């Protein structure tokens, strides 16, 4: 079985080298052989896992290559020597909420919603080089473009100038304040992204860095190729998507219509995350949901080589269908009509089915080589 580190490094290599036209099957080794009569089901599950890994790697490759367009031959590294900085700021008046697009190559970005009808941009350019004069030349070649056209504001750092200074890659850090009802689209190649207090639609994506969002109210899509993704304290009218290729995914105190959470190499935790439907998938990590269940909600929880844990408050009934091939299945809550199938040892598919309470919610929990447990959450 791959370790998290081995799997992550394999995916990074695959993401940077795999052709985008066709996603190849990603073969995975398994410990042990399937028992007679179980070969078909375990092989099918392995094929599904391989296809999901290939899709994730292809998406990562697409994100990386799109971000690095025009930077062929660039020397990677922040340069050596003391940092030289330059600050700039700009305020754009608006008539209300706007669409704000921020595109950066290297540097952290924070976007915060506020009550004023204006977009306030604070940017800090940072460069390092062998000599201060060289670093200053990089700063001069690093342009920050801030443009407003009607109800759209674009903030970006073109790379066609500073890439000629091959000894240093500059960093531009942004702190942006926008009207709270705005739509926000933030992209970075290398940097952490923070979004808070936005009531409109949010899209935040980085190749290398963490993504953290809080106090959201509209549909949100949060993604990182190599980094953790987290959403906190948000009541969202639409759906929330939180994805990483190599990193943990966490949602805390979240209310949403639907939640889609996935990672290839990392753990996923939904803590006090109430929704009508949740799809939660990790290849090489644990999956956990903890908190109250919505009535009539549907939860699909999957891990290939990690455990799946369901912690409920016991106030909402649910129907359970749990499956594993080489792990254990257990429920601390008494399930009516409980049935189990499969062998006790070896690579056999095992199932646990039953109903708790009125069975209004439905939980499908699957792990190939990990255990599935259902427990009552302890009072805080």
| Per-residue model confidence (pLDDT) at position 44 | 66
End-to-end Cα, the chain, rounded Å: 36
Does residue 350 register a pLDDT over 60? yes
Q: What percent of the chain has pLDDT over 90?
A: 64
Q: Quote the tokens at residue 81.
A: 């020597």
Q: Quote the tokens at residue 322.
A: 């749990």
Q: How distant, in Å, are the alpha carbons of 85, 116, 150, 214, 326 from that of 113?
A: 27, 9, 19, 11, 48
DSSP-derived secondary structure letter, 267:
-
Does residue 10 register a pLDDT over 80? no
8 Å CB contact between 280 and 363: no
| Per-residue model confidence (pLDDT) at position 379 | 73
Q: What is the model's pTM?
A: 0.83
| Per-residue model confidence (pLDDT) at position 159 | 73
- Per-residue pLDDT tens over the stretch 13-48: 444 333 333 333 333 333 333 444 445 555 666 566
Q: Which neighbouring-strand residues pair with 168?
A: none
What's the angle, vertex CA 196, arms to CA 192 and CA 202, rounded to 5?
80
Q: Quote the tokens at residue 105.
A: 């190559």
Q: How distant, in Å, are the alpha carbons of 29, 56, 227, 279, 366 from that of 305?
A: 11, 16, 20, 17, 10
Residue tagged 């990990």 (tokens): 370
How far apart are alpha carbons 70 and 66 in whole angstroms? 9
Residue tagged 């109430």 (tokens): 274
Q: Confidence band (pLDDT; 50, 70, 90) for 348?
A: confident
Does residue 5 register a pLDDT over 50? no
Helices 4-17, 39-67: crossing angle, 10 deg rounding: 60
DSSP-derived secondary structure letter, 369:
S
How far apart are alpha carbons 321 and 331 in whole angstroms? 11
Q: What percent of the chain has pLDDT over 70?
A: 75
Q: CB count, 10 Å around CB of 273? A: 24
- Per-residue pLDDT tens over the stretch 195-214: 999 999 999 999 999 999 99
Residues 6+ apart with CB under 8 A from 9: none
Residues 6+ apart with CB under 8 A from 314: 333, 356, 376, 377
| Per-residue model confidence (pLDDT) at position 278 | 97
Q: Which of 108-122, 152-166, 242-256, 271-285 has the lowest mean pLDDT?
A: 152-166
- Per-residue pLDDT tens over the stretch 150-182: 999 999 998 765 555 555 678 999 999 999 999
How far apart are alpha carbons 201 and 237 in whole angstroms? 10
| Per-residue model confidence (pLDDT) at position 378 | 81
- Per-residue pLDDT tens over the stretch 81-138: 778 899 999 999 999 999 999 999 899 999 999 999 999 999 999 988 777 888 888 8
């Amino acid at each position: 079985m791959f370790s998290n580190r081995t799997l992550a490094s394999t995916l990074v290599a695959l993401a940077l080298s795999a052709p985008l036209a066709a996603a190849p099957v990603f073969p995975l080794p398994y410990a042990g052989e399937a028992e007679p009569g179980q070969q078909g089901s375990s092989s099918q599950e392995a094929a599904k896992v391989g296809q999901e890994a290939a899709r994730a790697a292809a998406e990562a490759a697409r994100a990386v290559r799109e971000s690095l367009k025009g930077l062929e031959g660039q020397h990677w590294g922040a340069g050596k020597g003391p940092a030289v900085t330059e600050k700039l700021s700009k305020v754009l008046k608006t008539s209300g909420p706007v669409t704000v697009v921020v595109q950066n190559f290297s540097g952290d970005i924070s976007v915060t919603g506020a009550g004023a009808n204006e977009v306030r941009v604070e940017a800090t350019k940072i460069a390092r080089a062998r000599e201060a004069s060289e670093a200053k030349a990089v700063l001069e070649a690093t342009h920050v473009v801030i443009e407003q056209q009607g109800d759209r504001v674009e903030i970006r750092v073109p790379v066609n100038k500073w890439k000629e200074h091959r000894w240093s890659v500059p960093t531009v850090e942004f702190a942006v304040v926008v009207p709270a009802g705005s739509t926000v689209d933030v992209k970075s190649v290398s940097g952490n992204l923070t979004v808070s207090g936005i009531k409109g639609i949010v899209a935040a994506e980085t190749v290398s860095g963490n993504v953290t969002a809080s106090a959201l109210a509209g549909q949100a899509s949060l993604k990182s190729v190599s980094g953790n993704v987290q959403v906190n304290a948000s009541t969202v009218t639409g759906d929330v998507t939180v994805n990483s290729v190599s990193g943990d995914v966490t949602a805390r105190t979240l209310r949403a219509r639907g939640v889609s959470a996935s990672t290839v190499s990392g753990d996923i935790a939904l803590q006090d995350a109430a929704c009508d439907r949740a799809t939660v998938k990790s290849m090489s990590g644990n999956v956990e949901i903890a908190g109250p269940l919505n009535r009539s909600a549907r939860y699909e929880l999957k891990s290939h080589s990690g455990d799946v844990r369901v912690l409920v408050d016991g106030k909402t009934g649910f129907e359970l269908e749990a499956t594993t091939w080489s792990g254990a299945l257990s429920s601390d809550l008494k399930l009516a009509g409980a049935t189990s199938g499969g062998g006790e040892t070896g690579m056999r598919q095992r199932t646990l089915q039953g109903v708790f309470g009125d069975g209004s919610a439905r939980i499908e929990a699957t792990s190939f080589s990990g255990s599935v447990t259902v427990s009552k959450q302890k009072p805080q």
